[in-house]
């Protein structure tokens, strides 16, 4: 069984303070991951983390988004450098718990064509999984034909990876406990976008960088069931429980 | 025109002192590269550097080679961490001279099958080149089916890359001025292995990790002409001159 787990950038960093880790939150996530691997509750695990306060402010400062790129190596180095720093923190906390985390930096592997379509080859990820490692990817810059380097979000990586490694389960650990209805209650199951379009808000559907509506649309397109849940439900998700909102 | 340039690990590091840069040698190489790019003497440039005193001693300490792997994440982190540190030094010296260097870490991109055959997808390298960047790769670990993670040498990367990006010229900047004959004079041209097998020594042909005989054999297999030369000839090579030993 293969699971793709996204740790939201806002979960593991202090989103309002530049390049500041949320150490206790990352420790709790690493504890849950280590426990699940030790008990064999999850099989093969790929982790993807977002940027939080590490990547976003550099991208904003340089005017780089998922569609607007840069050919300035300083901008690329700022965004990629901050994200690899965060990635080292994540791997270090996992290593402290004997989780065999190995980095896979998307800037080194992926590219976009002139239409913005992502190509992320995954033979390296699958070989690492087969050999018992836990690949850890992250939001990053990506070479983009005609644009220089654009932003590649953690969510987009999850969608691409889940399909190419044929994931059985996908989990998005977010700061909210799931997709919320008009009363802020968690919607247990989402089977079509139309059913939740109203509560997600129409304007939100144009947010390509990770708004909830975009997440739901992308996850609906996957063959694997996907869950959106809060940090308190990470243990449960990794144990195979149904948590948060199930999108299938 | 696309050029693949290898900077030997023994050129840019103090080979006898663990994790010690040869700063003046790296500065001289970065000067030559920046000057050639500024004068348009080279077109598209991919740089690959070896491990020198950064990668090799970690690989040796953990018993990891190009064929014997490890499933220990500590070993992977030691080798890869040392090589990414060296890669940051190389990029930093290039950035100081406005060379738009961007890292491509082979561990994040490549894999070997159970027969040891390397797969190194290069759409990211080609897109970076098209967008005006200078991709900088390095000797690294690589996921290897059935072995865990093995060593991927800079020379092997050069051979693979040169073919997949359809390089017009390949240069190996080494500590020797070329392939030497029995009198230690540089052999100007090598067109077949048989012609130089004697001076290279039969035992050397089994050295897969970068001996001169292995280099010559791999370079003979390329369609692009390849040159082996010393640091003093790097300027000339980048200016399009014929330097050291030409292998074609």
Q: How many helices (H) and strands (E) does chain B have?
A: 10, 12
Span A180-189, pLDDT tens digits: 998 999 999 9
Under DSSP, the state recorded for B209 is T
Domains contained in chain A, number: 1
Q: What is the pLDDT of residue A199?
A: 83
**Which chain A residues have a beta carbon less than 8 Å from that of B132?**
71, 148
Q: Does B206 score more than 70 pLDDT?
A: no
Which band of pLDDT confidence, cut at 50, 70 and 90, is reported for residue A195?
confident
Residue A24: which residues within 8 A CB-CB, separation 6 or more? none
**Which chain A residues have a beta carbon less than 8 Å from that of B37?**
none
Q: Does B205 score more than 80 pLDDT?
A: no
**Substitution target from B64, B111, B130, B165 for chain A, most A beta carbons within 10 A:** B111
Q: Both tokens of residue A236?
A: 């449960």
Q: What is the pLDDT of residue A196?
A: 87
Q: What is the pLDDT of residue B210?
A: 54
**Which chain B residues have a beta carbon less than 8 Å from that of A130?**
145
Q: What is the pLDDT of residue B200?
A: 81
Helix (H) / strand (E) element for A10: namely helix A9-12
Average pLDDT, chain B: 94
Q: What is the pLDDT of residue A28?
A: 98
SS3 assignment, position A116? coil
Of the candidates B101, B123, B132, which has its C-beta nearest A119's C-beta?
B123
Span A23-52, pLDDT tens digits: 999 999 999 999 999 998 899 999 999 999
Q: What is the pLDDT of residue A211?
A: 78
Q: Both tokens of residue A20?
A: 């500041």
**Which chain B residues have a beta carbon less than 8 Å from that of A103?**
80, 105, 107-108
CATH number at residue A177: 3.40.1160.10
Tell me what the mean pLDDT of segment A103-111 comes to. Answer: 98
User: How far is Cα A141 from Cα B196, in angstroms, rounded to an integer?
Assistant: 46
Tell me what the mean pLDDT of segment A15-24 comes to. Answer: 92
- Look at B108 and A124 and tell me if their CB atoms are within 8 Å: yes
Residue % of chain A over a pLDDT of 70? 96
Q: What is the pLDDT of residue A210?
A: 54
Under DSSP, the state recorded for B187 is P
**CA-CA-CA-CA torsion sign (A35, A185, A248, A158):** negative
Which band of pLDDT confidence, cut at 50, 70 and 90, is reported for residue B207?
very low
**Domain extent at residue B138:** 2-247
Tell me what the mean pLDDT of segment B149-162 comes to. Answer: 96
**Substitution target from B123, B129, B140 for chain A, most A beta carbons within 10 A:** B123
Rounded to the nearest 10 degrees, what angle do helices A212-220 and A154-164 cross at?
10
Tell me what the mean pLDDT of segment A8-20 comes to. Answer: 92
Of the candidates A76, A119, A145, which has its C-beta nearest B130's C-beta?
A145
**Which chain B residues have a beta carbon less than 8 Å from that of A99?**
73
**Residue A243 main-chain phi, psi, to 5 deg:** -130, 160
User: How far is Cα B210 from Cα A183, in angstroms, rounded to an integer?
Assistant: 66
Span A216-227, pLDDT tens digits: 988 999 999 999
Q: What is the pLDDT of residue B214?
A: 84
Under DSSP, the state recorded for B66 is S
Beta strand A148-152 with A140-144: parallel, antiparallel or unpaired? Answer: antiparallel
Q: What is the pLDDT of residue A213?
A: 86
Span B76-104, pLDDT tens digits: 999 999 999 999 999 999 999 999 999 99
Tell me what the mean pLDDT of segment B49-62 comes to. Answer: 93
- Look at B144 and A124 and tell me if their CB atoms are within 8 Å: no
């Amino acid at each position: 069984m293969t699971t793709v787990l996204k740790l939201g950038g806002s979960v593991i960093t202090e989103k309002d303070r530049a390049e500041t880790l949320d150490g206790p939150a990352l420790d709790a996530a690493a504890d849950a991951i280590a426990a699940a691997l030790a008990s064999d509750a999850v099989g093969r695990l790929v982790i993807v983390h977002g940027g939080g306060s590490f990547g976003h402010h550099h991208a904003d400062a340089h005017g780089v988004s998922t569609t607007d790129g840069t050919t300035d190596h300083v901008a690329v180095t700022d965004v990629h450098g901050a994200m690899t720093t965060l990635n080292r923190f994540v791997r270090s906390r996992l290593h402290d718990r004997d989780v065999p985390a190995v980095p896979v930096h998307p800037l080194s592997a992926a590219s976009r064509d002139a239409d913005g379509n992502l190509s992320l080859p995954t033979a390296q990820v699958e070989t690492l999984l087969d050999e018992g490692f836990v690949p850890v990817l992250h939001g990053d810059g990506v070479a983009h034909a005609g644009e220089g380097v654009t932003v590649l979000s953690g969510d987009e990586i999850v969608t691409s990876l889940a399909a190419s490694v044929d994931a059985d389960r996908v989990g998005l650990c977010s700061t909210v406990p799931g997709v919320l209805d008009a009363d802020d209650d968690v919607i247990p199951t989402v089977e079509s976008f139309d059913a939740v379009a109203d509560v997600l808000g129409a304007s939100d559907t144009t947010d390509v960088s990770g708004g909830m509506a975009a997440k739901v649309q992308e996850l609906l397109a996957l063959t694997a069931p996907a869950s959106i849940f809060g940090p308190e439900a990470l243990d449960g998700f990794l144990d195979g429980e149904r948590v948060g909102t199930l999108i299938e």
